[in-house]
Structure 1
Amino acid sequence: MIQGDDTPDLDKGLNQRQLVHLMYGLFAVGILTAGIFGAAILAAVVLAYLKRGDMVGTVYAGHIDWIIRTFWWGLLWLVLSGIASMIFIGFITGLVAMIWIIYRIAKGWLAHCSGETPLPGL
């Protein structure tokens, strides 16, 4: 029997940088398809939660938090906009919420491409 046949290959899979790109990409696909591929957004957030512990103390930890916060705040504002649509202002607030989500994903992804963490704020 050859030694090492059952040892894991440490180079398999995506590295942390690629995982963050994947999360931003999945989120963007879900948004750009107007929710048709909403499962992509959920996959990005689930992946962010699963990898959150692995990325503590790295430059990528800020991106994980950014993606998770963008999802939850965006969901809150979209739900509130849906409720407000009953009084005909929800469409405006929904549009503002979608622009905010797109802005945050773009800002975070561009910061990631530059090797930085997204700055807190909007």
Structure 2
Amino acid sequence: MSETDFTAFEGKKPEDRTIMHVLYGMHTFAPFTYWVLAIIAMVVNYVRRSDEFDAIYVSHHNYMISTFWWSLLWLLVTAPLYLLFFFPGMVAHAIVGLWYLYRCVRGWLRFTDGRPPY
């Protein structure tokens, strides 16, 4: 019979919760920093997710990662609208930006309540 390493099942530390709040904050303010904060937060999301064992934390990392990639996809898909006129592209990118902010705030609030993002 194999032995179980119970140190791997320790409870979450306050630092882990703080890091998640910082990541959500970085994602939320990323549109105002030309997405630099989102790229930094994505790297941390990928690194932290690989070491995570708590299902709630993993789901929030996945949520932030998927929000970023879907937003990037929709920004690229709607970019040709700028070729028609400036206004349609601007409206499309504003909608994507608002959706991104909505997802970040919603996920952050659900994390604060200790619930999964979905």
TM-score interval, smaller chain: 0.7 to 0.9
Which position in structure 2 is the counterpart of 1:45?
A: 42
* Paired residues for 1:93-108 under 5 Å: 93-108=92-107
Report the equivalent of 1:20: 20
Identity of aligned residues (%): 29
Tell me the alpha carbon deviations over residues 40-85 of structure 1, each in whole angstroms, 9 at most, x when there is no partner.
1111111000111122443111110010001000011112222221
Cα RMSD after superposing both structures: 1.8
Amino acid at match of 1:69: S
Partners of 2:19 and 2:33 in 1: how far apart?
23
Structure 2's unaligned 5+ residue stretches are: 1-12
The counterpart of 2:73, out of the listed 72, 76, 81, is 76
Is contact 1:26–1:41 with CA below 8 Å preserved after alignment?
yes
Structure 1: runs of 5 or more not aligned: 1-12
Return the letter of the residue paired with 1:104: R
